[in-house]
Amino acid sequence: MNRLLALFLSILFLIPAVSMATIKLPQPEKIVLENGLTVYFYRNPELPLVSFRMIIPGAGSAFEPQGLDGLANLTAELLLKGTSTMTAEEIAEALDFLGARFAISDAEEYATVYGECLSEHLPRLLQIASECLISPAFKEDEYKKELSRKIDNLKAIKDNPGSALRQYFRKAYFGDHPFGHLSVGTDSSLKKMTLQEIKKFYSSRYRPDVAIMAVVGEVEKEKLLEILKSTIGKWPKPSTPAPSISIPPVPVPKGKKLIFVDKPDATQSYFALGAPGYPVGDKISARASIMNTLWGGRFTSWLNTELRIKRGLTYGASSSFQSWKIGGLFMASSYTKNDKIGEMLDITFDLLKKAKAQGFSAEEVDSARNYILGQFPPTLETNSSKANAYLRLIYYGLGFDYYDKYLKEISNARPEDIKAVATKLLPESDFVLVVVGKGAEAKKHLEKYGKFQEKKITDPDF
Amino acid sequence: MPKKMGLFVLSLFFLTAMLQATFKKEDIKVHRLENGLKIIFYEDHKIPNIAYYTFFKVGSRNERPGLTGVSHFIEHMMFNGTQKFGPGEFDRIMEFYGGANNAYTSDDMTAYTDWFPSHALEKMIELEADRMQGLIFDPKVFESERGVVASERRMSVENNNEAILHENVRATAIMAHPYHWDVIGWMSDILSWRREEVIQYYRTYYAPNNAVLVIVGDFDSQKTLDLIKKYYGPIPAQSPPPPVTTTEPPQMGRKEVVIKKEAQTPSFMVVYHGPRCTDPDFFALSLLEKPLLQGESSRLYRRLVRDEQLAISVSGGIEEKIDPYLFSIYVKPRPGADLDKIEKVIDEELNKIIEQGITEQEYQKAMNIIRSDFYFSLQTNSGKANLIGAMELLTGNYENLFTIVDRYASVKREELPAVAKKYFNDLNKTVGKLIPQGGSK
């Protein structure tokens, strides 16, 4: 049987698989501690495990002073490197001893705290966590160790074209906007870094009255309250008002911004193409998910079909939307042999044009809808993913019925809506394109796109 | 090597102390079809979804020179068309029904992992049964997929200094056994596999008598078994594949590999030959790896990263394999770090364990880590399916999952120095260094 005909018939005989996913995010209880910390709790007795997560708005990388990339990340890391009563070794030993998972890290808009352990170890884990948050020592020698490790890590990042691309792209796209701050730091920012700045960042940005926490797992509410009061509840609320956490509008590319990074030992060229997305909770979210699923978001997406499945140019090609409170980003990326990068980009741009002009068929939209609905329940399967969902809903002000509404919108989207989203969001002539590859082999295939600003991988910064 | 992005980490052998009542041996049902297909069911109705895992007893361990990487290649070709469903239709139909999938190949096994809403079950069974016997290996698609795998090799090995070093060290430490080569295979083999040979390989290993299905989630076992009989029942059994008989001869002295290549940072690793995953020594070494390598409180992290500041990170341990493999120590040195010094520190720390063993605190820590990780992996349908399947394939019986606690508990702290001494010695050691070209030592 002819391959295309077979596909046609198989689609005809597919039973419409649309059915609302029956999972609902359980409603958590809200607890407000005396220091202003808000805690959302849901008891899940299934396994003897508990997860907690916290976000501290305003303590993310977007709030670093200009030119001090990596400050928020260093601050978060140093919280685990000694407190008023424990040395860095003692903290590491205590955490490892429990077999617990614990991390403090930085996103753009906030710092995050994540912990997960056997229920019996929760009191001890929360005790260590609150010590780290409440009374970090910020010792000079620990700071120097972390800083120098970070400086060396920049070189390791540049040895890997994929991870180097992410840093170059972020700088190229966001420029001086706070979202352009790199958590890994830059050669110049780490040179300028001081412990004084870190202490200042911590004391003004880490505070319980703006933080939100979620706890999910096997622990009784009374017991949890008792533990919280004697640990994180002791985090004093500062007398000063919380600093502003507003972020200027995300820049919108005008025209093409093209950057080529020469990495002479690369056997492949890696590209990232970026354009504006949409903010979290935007009305367009559900439709944009369907559109992205079809264009570059899953294995059979247009992009992966053309670049990988049909042509074997790459191991993987994908696109995604990333969203924040004040805006978002669309990004497509892949990689191929240096001399094929021109062909790869031609196909990518053709697919963007095609989606804007033609949109997607009814069958395709059905398929994306079924896919998103079918894959949704496992995203809330674990304690940690439930805790994360609570924090997102609260921080972004989405309401606890957000997922129900979102899934309903997914169910109701029509092909013409999806085409409209493609026309609106997919880039045509205004975008940022960054390529990391071997110049001697790749550059001649890129000339047709215009003039690339050139960088060498060995130059400092990104 | 997974079909898609992201590295597969086989998380197995976690302690089973006080297994929760919610995951009991009695709730697992097993059935074997006449054609030899073994099916393991575990019903769990918390979410309206199913994890459907198919494990084939084939991996790079079953390959030979000229055909290296072919197990992983067939993993890719499993998505590229059967007599019934054309190239790419497997994914298109699965996604249309709300399902997603991935696959991975290791040295010892190939696994196909499907996640879908419960209502799609029959279609998924039909698709999986179909590709167990009906692949067509369309010549054009064959060539295109060869390109994908070559790209995967360029990405995952040739553009990754740690992977280049790892491939060289493995091939140096292991001379005779097929663990000599990496799952991805040598580039020249990737570029020259012949279609007929690949088809022959597929016929031999993709047979119901060489496969295990693990199904976890929201379904009814009896109804599902009826569907499985309907779709898989007619697939004929094949002659059992030839056993892997090559045994790695004992190593007779320290080996060293030095790679010189353009890079900004060096790479470093040390490996020792270790036991297979069912050997009593395996549990001792798996326990030892925690105080030695896991977390910032581990001995090697303390020495190399914090105290001497020679490294950015350390990792490693013993990997669970059907045949004896390696205990590996990976170090990411700081730029310009003295690699001989790093080796010396590792020797000193291993010797301390040989002479003094580990503390009671460290022993307890290892047990806590093992127990917590075990529960973490039981949180999802896919975690359970993977654990059951990997245990079944590597140890021959998934039920070991429920008794493995005794294996760990039976390792006495006092026995650890002797085990360490048996494996961590110079005769058994291979060192790998990647030295940036023109750079410092």
Are A278 and A407 contained in the same domain?
Answer: yes
With residues binned 3-state (H G I as helix, E B as strand, rest as coil), the percentages for chain B, rounded to 5, are: 45, 20, 35
- Whether B425 has a pLDDT exceeding 90, the answer reads yes
**Structural domain contains residue A174:** yes
pLDDT of residue A309: 86
Q: What is chain B's mean pLDDT, rounded? A: 92
**Structural domain contains residue A342:** yes
- Which chain B residue has its CA at the smallest distance from A13's CA? B93
pLDDT of residue A264: 94
As a whole number of angstroms, the longest Cα–Cα distance in chain B is 66
pLDDT of residue A4: 36
| Nearest-CA distance A86 → chain B (Å) | 13
Name the pLDDT band for B2 (thresholds 50, 70, 90): low
Are A65 and A174 contained in the same domain?
Answer: yes
Q: Considering A177, A209, A234, which residue would you say is the last residue of a domain?
A: A234
Neighboring chain B residues of A370 at a CB cutoff of 8 Å: 95-98
Q: List the domains of chain B with CATH numbers.
A: 25-232 (3.30.830.10), 255-436 (3.30.830.10)
| Nearest-CA distance B122 → chain A (Å) | 12
Are A114 and A190 contained in the same domain?
Answer: yes
Decide: helix, strand or coil at residue A71.
helix
- Whether B12 has a pLDDT exceeding 60, the answer reads no
Could you say which residues from 278 to 317 on chain B have a Cβ atom under 8 Å away from some Cβ of chain A? Answer: 294-298, 302, 305-306, 309, 312
- Which chain A residue has its CA at the smallest distance from B45's CA? A23
pLDDT of residue B405: 72
Residue linked to tokens 């698709």: B127
pLDDT of residue B23: 83
How deeply is A220 buried, as exposed, middle or buried, from its count of CB atoms within 10 A (0-12, 13-18, 19+)?
A: exposed
CB A281 within 8 A of CB A396: yes
CB B213 within 8 A of CB B221: no
What's the pTM value of the predicted model, to 2 decimals?
A: 0.90
- Which chain A residue has its CA at the smallest distance from B364's CA? A97
CATH of the domain at A325: 3.30.830.10
Are A205 and A266 contained in the same domain?
Answer: no
Contact B379 A98 (CB under 8 A): no
pLDDT digits (tens, 9 = 90+) for A280-311: 999 999 999 999 999 999 999 999 999 988 88
| Nearest-CA distance A155 → chain B (Å) | 6
Phi, psi of A43, rounded to the nearest 5 degrees: -90, 125
**Structural domain contains residue A461:** no
**Structural domain contains residue A126:** yes
Question: Per the structure, how many domains does chain A have?
Answer: 2
pLDDT digits (tens, 9 = 90+) for A175-196: 999 999 999 999 999 999 999 9
Are A391 and A296 contained in the same domain?
Answer: yes
- Whether B8 has a pLDDT exceeding 50, the answer reads no
Q: Which of B97, B145, B312 sits opposite A312 (nearest CB)?
A: B145
- Which chain B residue has its CA at the smallest distance from A438's CA? B159
**Structural domain contains residue A240:** no
pLDDT of residue A20: 46
Mean pLDDT of A218-239: 96
Residue type, A183: S
Mean pLDDT of B311-317: 95
Q: Is B144's Cβ below 8 Å from some Cβ in A? A: yes
Interface test with A, best of B72, B113, B159 (most A CBs within 10 A): B159
Neighboring chain A residues of B379 at a CB cutoff of 8 Å: 47, 49, 381-383
| Nearest-CA distance A414 → chain B (Å) | 16
**Structural domain contains residue A241:** no
Contact B380 A159 (CB under 8 A): no
Mean pLDDT of B212-219: 98
Could you say which residues from 8 to 37 on chain B have a Cβ atom under 8 Å away from some Cβ of chain A? Answer: 18, 20, 22
Are A307 and A370 contained in the same domain?
Answer: yes
CB A373 within 8 A of CB A22: no
Are A170 and A289 contained in the same domain?
Answer: no
Are A150 and A204 contained in the same domain?
Answer: yes
Higher pLDDT, B63 or A315: B63
- Whether B439 has a pLDDT exceeding 80, the answer reads no
pLDDT digits (tens, 9 = 90+) for B160-177: 899 999 999 999 999 999
Decide: helix, strand or coil at residue A270.
strand
- Which parts of A64-188 are beta strand (E)? 101-106, 110-118
| Nearest-CA distance A314 → chain B (Å) | 5
- Whether A312 has a pLDDT exceeding 90, the answer reads no
Q: How far is CA A92 from CA A88, B166, B367, in A?
A: 6, 29, 16
| Nearest-CA distance B89 → chain A (Å) | 7
Q: What is chain A's mean pLDDT, rounded? A: 93
Q: What is the 3-state secondary structure (H, E, C) of A316-367?
A: CCEEEEEECCCCEEEEEEEEEEHHHHHHHHHHHHHHHHHHHHHCCCHHHHHH
Name the pLDDT band for A7 (thresholds 50, 70, 90): very low
Give the C-alpha separation, A440 to A432, whole Å.
Answer: 22
Give the C-alpha separation, A378 to B113, whole Å.
Answer: 14
Residues ≥6 apart with Cβ < 8 Å to B101: A299, B91, B94, B112, B113, B114, B115
Residues ≥6 apart with Cβ < 8 Å to A60: A72, A106, A107, A108, A109, A110, A111
Mean pLDDT of A152-169: 94
**Structural domain contains residue A211:** yes
For the record, the structure tokens of A281 come out as: 């909770």
- Whether A135 has a pLDDT exceeding 80, the answer reads yes
Report percent pLDDT > 90 for chain A: 90
Are A323 and A435 contained in the same domain?
Answer: yes
Q: Is B440's Cβ below 8 Å from some Cβ in A? A: no
Phi, psi of A132, rounded to the nearest 5 degrees: -60, -40
Neighboring chain A residues of B46 at a CB cutoff of 8 Å: 46, 381
Interface test with B, best of A49, A315, A334 (most B CBs within 10 A): A315
Residue type, B40: I
Q: Is B381's Cβ below 8 Å from some Cβ in A? A: yes
| Nearest-CA distance B97 → chain A (Å) | 6
Q: Considering A234, A269, A296, which residue would you say is the last residue of a domain?
A: A234
Structural domain for A98, as ranges: 29-234
Are A289 and A427 contained in the same domain?
Answer: yes
CB B273 within 8 A of CB B173: yes
Report percent pLDDT > 90 for chain B: 84
For the record, the structure tokens of B110 come out as: 């190939």
Residue type, B319: E
Number of C-beta neighbours around residue B365 at 10 A: 24
**Which alpha helices (DSSP H) does A99-139 contain, by range?**
122-134
Is the ipTM, as predicted for this complex, more than 0.90? Answer: no
Contact A375 B115 (CB under 8 A): yes
Contact A96 B87 (CB under 8 A): no
Contact A10 B297 (CB under 8 A): no
pLDDT digits (tens, 9 = 90+) for A343-401: 999 999 999 999 999 999 999 999 999 999 999 999 999 999 999 999 999 999 999 99
pLDDT digits (tens, 9 = 90+) for B125-154: 999 999 999 999 999 999 989 998 998 898
Neighboring chain B residues of A98 at a CB cutoff of 8 Å: 368, 372
Q: Considering A182, A201, A234, which residue would you say is the last residue of a domain?
A: A234
**Structural domain contains residue A79:** yes
Mean pLDDT of B218-236: 97
- Whether B233 has a pLDDT exceeding 50, the answer reads yes
Residue type, A212: I
Interface test with A, best of B379, B435, B440 (most A CBs within 10 A): B379
- Whether A17 has a pLDDT exceeding 90, the answer reads no
Contact B151 A336 (CB under 8 A): yes
| Nearest-CA distance B419 → chain A (Å) | 23
Name the pLDDT band for B88 (thresholds 50, 70, 90): confident
Are A85 and A161 contained in the same domain?
Answer: yes
Q: How far is CA B26 from CA A304, B49, B218, B375, in A?
A: 43, 22, 17, 18
Give the C-alpha separation, B439 to B441, whole Å.
Answer: 7
Q: How far does CA A349 lie from the centroid of its chain? A: 25
Paired residues of A30 in beta bridges: A40
Residue type, B173: A
Residue linked to tokens 């069974």: B125
CB A174 within 8 A of CB A434: no
Are A172 and A269 contained in the same domain?
Answer: no
